[in-house]
A = this chain, B = another copy of it.
Amino acid sequence: MTKPPLRTKKRDSYHHGNLKEALVGAARALIAERGTTGFTLVDAARRAGVSPAAPYRHFPDRDGLIAEVCRRGFAEFGRRLGGAWRNTGADRAEAFRRMGHAYLDFAREEPGYYAAMFTAGAQWTVPTKEPEGGDAFATLVDAIGVATDGKRGNGVDLRRLAFQVWAFSHGIATLSGAPWLVHAFPDIDPAMALDEGVDALIRGTLHSGPPKEDAKRPRSRKTAGANASRT
Binding site for B on A (CB under 8 A): 34-35, 37-38, 91-94, 97-98, 101, 105, 115, 118-122, 126-128, 137, 140-141, 159-160, 163-164, 166-172, 174-175, 177-180, 183-193, 195-197, 199-208, 211-212, 214-215, 217, 219-220, 222-224, 226-230
**Chain B residues in 8 Å Cβ range of A169:** 171
What chain B residues lie within 8 Å of A200 (beta carbons)?
164, 200-205, 208
For A226, list chain B residues within 8 Å (CB): 189-191
Residue of B nearest to A74 (CB): B180
Query: Chain B residues near A230 (CB, 8 Å)?
Result: 186-187
Contact of A189 among B122, B172, B193, B227 (CB under 8 A): B227
With A and B bound together, what is the CA distance between A169 and B180 in angstroms?
Answer: 17
Task: Evaluate contact between B193 and A160: CB separation under 8 angstroms.
Answer: yes
Q: Does B227 lie within 8 Å of A192, measured CB to CB?
A: yes
The one of B101, B140, B170, B183 in contact with A222, judged by C-beta atoms closer than 8 angstroms, is: B101
CA distance A97 to B222 in the complex (A): 11
Q: Write the nearest CB–CB distance from A150 to chain B, whole angstroms.
A: 11
Give the complex CA separation of A119 and B34 in angstroms: 11
Given A166-B175, A188-B163, A220-B98: A215 in contact with B199 (beta carbons within 8 A): yes
Q: For residue A215, which residues in chain B have a CB less than 8 angstroms away from its CB?
A: 93, 199, 202-203
A128 to B184, CA, bound (A): 8
Given A141-B184, A183-B126, A192-B227, A201 and B207 contact (CB-CB distance below 8 Å)? no
- The answer for the CA separation of A97 and B166 in the assembled complex, in Å, is 19
Chain B residue at minimum C-beta to C-beta distance from A183: B128
In the complex, A141 Cα to B208 Cα: how many Å? 28
Residues of B within 8 Å of A180, CB to CB, are 126-128, 137
Q: Do A185 and B171 contact each other (CB < 8 Å), given the known contacts A120-B178, A220-B98?
A: no
Give A48 Cβ to nearest chain B Cβ, in Å.
Answer: 23
